[in-house]
Amino acid sequence: KINGERLWDSLMEMARIGATEKGGVCRLALTDLDRQARDLFVKWCKEAGCTIRIDKMGNVFARRAGKDNSLAPVMTGSHIDSQPTGGKFDGAYGVLCGLEVIRSLNDMKYETLRPIEAIIWTNEEGSRFAPAMVASGVFAGVFDLDYGLGRADQDGKTMGEELKRIGYYGDDEVGGRPVHAFFEAHIEQGPILEAEKKKIGIVQGAQGQRWFEVVFTGQEAHAGPTPMKVRKDALVGAAQVIAAINQIGHDNQPFACATVGMINSSPNSRNVIPGKVFFTIDLRHPDDKILSKMAAEAKAACEAAVKKNMLEMDFKEIWYSPPVKFDQDCVAAVKKGAEELGFDNLDIISGAGHDACYMNRVAPTAMVFIPCEGGISHNEIENATKEDCRDGCDVLLRAMVERANA
Q: Applying CB under 6 A, which residues contact ligand URP?
A: 90, 124-126, 132, 189, 222, 224, 271, 352-354
**Which segments within 66-206 are labelled E, that is strand?**
74-79, 116-121, 181-187, 200-206
Residue 201, SS3 per DSSP: strand
Minimum CB distance to its own copies, residue 233 (Å): 7
Residue 261 interacting partner from its own copies, ligand URP, none (CB closer than 5 to 8 Å by kind) = its own copies
Q: Measured from the CB atom, is 89 or 169 closer to its own copies? A: 89
Shortest distance in whole angstroms from residue 118 CB to ligand URP: 18
Cβ atoms within 10 A of the Cβ of 243, count? 13
Number of continuous H segments (helices) and E segments (strands) in the chain: 12, 16
Alpha-carbon dihedral sign for residues 162, 26, 101, 337: negative
Minimum gap (Å) between residue 122 Cβ and its own copies: 17
Q: Report the partner that residue 84 touches, choosing among ligand URP, its own copies, none (CB closer than 5 to 8 A by kind).
A: its own copies
Report d(CA 104, CA 121) in Å as an integer.
22
Q: Select from ligand URP, its own copies, none the partner in contact with residue 227, using the beta carbon and a kind-dependent cut-off of 5 to 8 Å.
A: its own copies
**Are the beta carbons of 359 and 367 closer than 8 angstroms?**
no
- Reference 139, options 387, 356, 382, 396; nearest CA is 356
Q: Which is nearer to ligand URP, 124 or 391 (CB)?
A: 124
Instruction: State how far the Cα of 286 lies from the Cα of 209, in Å rounded to an integer.
Output: 8
Q: Quote the CA–CA distance of 254 and 266 in Å, as a whole number.
A: 36
Nearer to ligand URP, 125 or 391 (CB): 125
Closer residue to ligand URP (CB): 44 or 211:
211
How near is the Cβ of 119 to its own copies at its closest, in Å?
21
Q: How far is the CB of 356 from its own copies (least distance, A)?
A: 14
Give the residue with the Cβ less far from ligand URP, 156 or 224: 224
Interacting partner of 10 out of its own copies, ligand URP, none (Cβ under 5 to 8 A depending on kind): none
Q: Quick check: 311 and 237 in contact, CB under 8 A? A: yes
Collapsing DSSP states into helix, strand and coil, what is residue 296? helix
**Beta carbon nearer to ligand URP, 55 or 124:** 124
Minimum CB separation from ligand URP for residue 319, in Å? Answer: 10
For the CB of residue 363, give the shortest distance to its own copies in the complex, in Å.
23
Question: Looking at residue 73, what DSSP letter applies?
Answer: P
Work out what residue 124 binds among its own copies, ligand URP, none; the CB cut-off runs from 5 to 8 Å by kind: ligand URP
In the complex with its own copies, the residue whose CB is nearer, 137 or 275, is 275
Cα angle 239-300-281, degrees, rounded to a multiple of 5: 55
User: Which does residue 158 touch among ligand URP, its own copies, none (CB within 5 to 8 A, set by kind)?
Assistant: none
Burial group, residue 219, by CB count within 10 angstroms (0-12, 13-18, 19+) = middle
